[in-house]
Amino acid sequence: MKVSVILPVYNHARWVKQALDSVLAQSFTSFELIVIDDASQDASWDVIQAVCQANPTVRWQCVRHKTNQGAPATLNEGLKLAQGDFLAILNSDDVWEAGRLARLVSLAERESIDFISTDVALLDGDSKPKEAIERHWVAWFEALKQDYLTHADSWATLLRGNFLITTSNFFFHRRVYTQVGVFAELRYVHDYEYALRIWLAGFKTRFLMGEKLLGYRLHDSNTIREKPLAAIEENMRLLLGWLPRLQRVLDWQRLRGLEIQLLDLYRYTREEWLTIVHQRLVAREQELFPLITDRDGWIAERDAVIGDLQQQLVQHREWLAEREHWVGERDGWILERDGYIAQRDGWIAERDAVIALHAQHLHDREQWVVERDGWIAERDTLIQQLQQQQQDLLASRAFRLGHALLNPLRRCKQWLTGGSHA
């Protein structure tokens, strides 16, 4: 078995079939394919099984983890399972050109090259070219390639930046693995650290510039893009930790490459911090915008309330003015009323005096009535006495005798009076 292809998979159900098909489509067919699903939570394993069943003649090793172990551990497991003279890695979201293995195997055997990488074509999620969209990434990669062209020192270019890009670009002889060993447990730069060990060990390497035999898919779920600041920090820690080991291989040109990468990392850190701050500000704005809208609504309502209150205040002042006028009129009415009351009190006093006088008069009248009744009683008694005396007189012989004696005289007087009058 000439080549062992190690294909780690994690949650790439969308692309893993393309990756597998690109291996199966190689013009060089003397390979085994080691597929390790690192406990994917999507349908990746179902896709792998379907491709395996559709290609029973291929030498497969399909492994599925029960728990996620991470990229370095998965790659190391694949390296331990590998039986080929050459080891090649392809991540489940990348693709190979059909002639990649044939080209690399032929070159490695012809020139006894230990490690080979190629140029890279940038792809999007739909496997379409993405160079026009990722201008900053392309500019960075082109600068690395131009740096290599100026001096053909891969050490200097590697210290300036990881021009290998990804473990999908790793093609190396088994003796490299035997000497260098397994990948370090680094989340973001395990490929870069492994390359530094290969170069430091003095293996013969080759970079096929201009031969884009690898399709590298750059998408939002790339591990390197999940936490850019963490990736930059891990890269800087790696370089700083490697400085003592690099001492014996550094010259001015390589030191200059290392300086450029550190400056780039510093700039990336600042840009990422600014981006994070901007994103947080934007997120905060998104939180604040509804509050601002609510605030503006409250201000509008407040202004409306203030307007109503001001109108009510004007009306209140008008009412106060009217009330003051009414109070003045009321006070005038009260003074007038008090005059009427004083006048009424005078009338009442006069009435009470009249009533008292009348009461006195009534008392006097009652006394007079009592006296009058006494007089009347006395008179009636006297009259009765007189009447009785009159009756007694009229009934007496003397009165009758006198009346009889005087009767002729009265008639003569009446005759004389009557006659004189005629």
Integer Cα distance of 405 and 123 in angstroms: 186
Q: Considering the entire predicted model, what is its pTM?
A: 0.68
pLDDT at 222: 61
pLDDT score at 225: 59
Q: How many H helices and E strands in the chain?
A: 12, 8
Q: What pLDDT was estimated at residue 33?
A: 97
What are the pLDDT digits (tens) for 228-244?
Answer: 788 889 999 999 999 99
**Residues 6 or more apart in contact with residue 313 via CB below 8 angstroms:** none
**How far apart are the C-alpha atoms of 140 and 263, rounded to whole Å?**
13
pLDDT of residue 226: 64
CB contact at 8 A, 206 and 164: no
**Sign of the CA dihedral running 260, 265, 270, 276:** positive
CB-based contact 130:124 (threshold 8 Å): yes
The rounded Cα 147 to chain-centroid distance in angstroms is 49
**Can you list the residues of the chain whose pLDDT is less than 50?**
420-422
Task: Report the C-alpha gap between 196 and 156 in whole angstroms.
Answer: 11
∠ CA 215-131-192, nearest 5°, is 55
